[in-house]
Structure 1
Amino acid sequence: MQIQAICTDIDGTLLNGDRVLSPRLLSAIAKLPKDFPVILASSRMPDAMRHLQRDMGRLGEPLICYNGGFVIHDEPKEVLDDVSISLDHCEALVKIAKGTQVHVSLYQGEEWFEPEYDYWAEREAKNTRVDPTLQPLDQVLALWKGRKKGAHKVMCMGPADEIDFFFQNAAQHMGTDLHLYRSKDTYIEIAPKSISKASALELLLERKYGFGLESVMAFGDNYNDIEMLEAVGLGVAVGNAREEVKAIADRVTLSNKEDGVAVMIEEMLLG
């Protein structure tokens, strides 16, 4: 099999224990040809991914954002796919959180809206190196109604017991249309059920490259990476991945803290 591109998850996969790109990883990527695609696929918003591209010397390459709901190519600027949560569902999710300690964040394209800069917003800003726009969520939803827009992602953060309640309530009423993903006990990431990293990658390859999924080596660690790892030619789970991810992977490399992605790049592409 000839590997012609890499597609990788970010958090828990590409980033090390300090949540940065390690020197070994940067060195391995620098040795790849400039026309060899290194595609980032994440639940993150675009600007939370671009600074990583910049560090890798890969700014302008395609980005699979919001787990596949927003696929963009920056040079030239082009939106390849745009799938959002309906406004009705957004309003229902905000309503479920009212009167609880669940903190709701709304994402649409290049924008991230927070009702206040509290512990949860500050933590997310620190992790992603992006600052939110502070605006009451009711105002955001009213603005979106005028534009006939929805959210690419709704993220809920809060105490584990309240997140449990929110998850059960939202899944019961909207689970057929939305994918509710528990990235941590205190986090829920919500996206349309019709999209995935795998479907986004397939579309991107069809539109921009002359090869298919079978020529891609992909990396991941969590449930939202499973379809992608199954779909590509070489699906690699990092050593810290969930057992369900390791079970479907073609290969298991070292953990993200041990430069697992760099090890596989060195072995498969630089050896």
Structure 2
Amino acid sequence: MHKVSTTELASPGIGNISTLDIQLLVVDIDGTIAGKSNTITTAVKQAIAAARSRGVQVAIATGRMYRSALPFHQEIASNLPLLAYQGAWIQDPANQKIHRHLPVSRELAHKLLDYFEQPELRSLLSVHFYINDELYVREITRETALYAERSGITPIAVGDLRQVTSNEPTKVLALCDDTNVIQQLLGNLRRQYTPAELYLTTSVATFFEATNPSVNKGAGVRYLAEELLGLQRANVMTIGDNFNDVEMLEYAGIGVAMGNAPEAVQAIAEWVAPDVEQDGAAAAIEKFLLS
């Protein structure tokens, strides 16, 4: 894809995509519309509102739990279904209808847990199972407590996580402050499981995430755009900041990476916006949808 720098002048379109074609804007939360403060700034909210006033529908696609993402969905006044858990859970807050739920199989969840509980890993990882939009953990670690505070979720400590898998988990997450551990985990498990078995990614450098193989934000955005709204990829613009956003950046007619995104994520985007702390999402919206 053609990558455009933040200093390039606005153009009427990219490649064969005209910005006039964009009817759906899909944004990530953390690192995209919410920075360190865990809030959406006035500038970003105003830009989203201006896009909506021009007829562009706006949705959220996030790795967060549905309940954790809902306040952000409400704050941007979205009237579309919310894509949570990387798109594994798509629910319409207006009528509570769950359009899609694709969990991890119980068998694979147990195998992941066996892997995480190896002696050399057990003390390093905080393991999260998400079941029925609740967060279950083995114990409340420091990493879990910080995660819960930012997410606004109360984790449920159960000791052995196998006892809660009578229902299949929507997502499995392993946290570690040591990013090298997370990268080794990702590499080892990608060699162990094919993309047809599990979707494996990182949403931030300290989060390893596993979902159903049919799940990623690109598939979720495609489902929202094409199945629910009758649009095509040329009608879609996406903004994201990390590796779990890659598929939706690749899918969209216009895919924008944040300035705080890893270089490999920036490389696949059509445009790189300023940093989240500089209201980069607002700059992207203004460039492509409001100019």
Name the residue aligned to 2:150. Answer: 127
Counterpart secondary structure, 1:107: strand
Task: Name the CA shift for 1:158/1:230 in 2 (closer, same or farther; >3 Å).
Answer: closer
CA distance in structure 2 between the aligned counterparts of 1:21 and 1:57, rounded to whole angstroms: 12
Counterpart secondary structure, 2:111: helix
- What is the deviation of 1:162? 4.9
- What is the deviation of 1:156? 0.5
Q: Deviations over 1:203-246 (max 9, x none)?
A: 11233213222111110122222221121111111111122222
Please tell me whether residue 3 in structure 1 is matched to residue 27 in structure 2: no
Please tell me whether residue 155 in structure 1 is matched to residue 155 in structure 2: no
Name the residue aligned to 2:106. Answer: 87
Name the residue aligned to 2:279. Answer: 259
User: Quick check: 1:70–1:109 contact (8 Å CA) kept in 2?
Assistant: no
Name the residue aligned to 1:14. Answer: 33
- What is the deviation of 1:166? 4.3
- What is the deviation of 1:109? 3.8
Q: Deviations over 1:64-93 (max 9, x none)?
A: 111121122222222222211110111111
- List structure 1 runs of 4+ shifted beyond 6 angstroms: none
Name the residue aligned to 2:264. Answer: 244
Please tell me whether residue 66 in structure 1 is matched to residue 89 in structure 2: no
Name the residue aligned to 1:197. Answer: 217
Q: Quote the sequence identity (%).
A: 28
Aligned partner letter, 1:51: P
Counterpart secondary structure, 1:248: coil
**Unaligned 5+ runs, structure 1:** 145-149
User: Quick check: 2:27–2:61 contact (8 Å CA) kept in 1?
Assistant: yes
Name the residue aligned to 2:53. Answer: 33
- What is the deviation of 1:34? 9.0
CA distance in structure 2 between the aligned counterparts of 1:13 and 1:97, rounded to whole angstroms: 30
Structure 1 range deviating more: 214-223 or 167-176: 167-176
Q: 228, 250, 266: which one pairs with 1:230?
A: 250
Task: Name the CA shift for 1:222/1:67 in 2 (closer, same or farther; >3 Å).
Answer: same
CA distance in structure 2 between the aligned counterparts of 1:213 and 1:165, rounded to whole angstroms: 34
RMSD of the alignment, in Å? 2.2
CA distance in structure 1 between the aligned counterparts of 2:46 and 2:97, rounded to whole angstroms: 29
What is the 5 A alignment of 1:139-154?
Answer: 139-141=163-165, 143-144=166-167, 150-154=168-172
TM-score normalized by the length of structure 2: 0.83
- What is the deviation of 1:121? 1.5
CA distance in structure 1 between the aligned counterparts of 2:225 and 2:204, rounded to whole angstroms: 31
Counterpart secondary structure, 2:64: coil
Counterpart secondary structure, 1:214: helix
Q: Deviations over 1:97-135 (max 9, x none)?
A: 224212110013422112222212211111211222332
CA distance in structure 1 between the aligned counterparts of 2:35 and 2:85, rounded to whole angstroms: 21
Q: Deviations over 1:151-205 (max 9, x none)?
A: 2210011352654564455334334512222344532111123222111111112
Aligned length: 264
Aligned partner letter, 2:199: H
Q: Deviations over 1:34-63 (max 9, x none)?
A: 9642111111110111011222233x5311
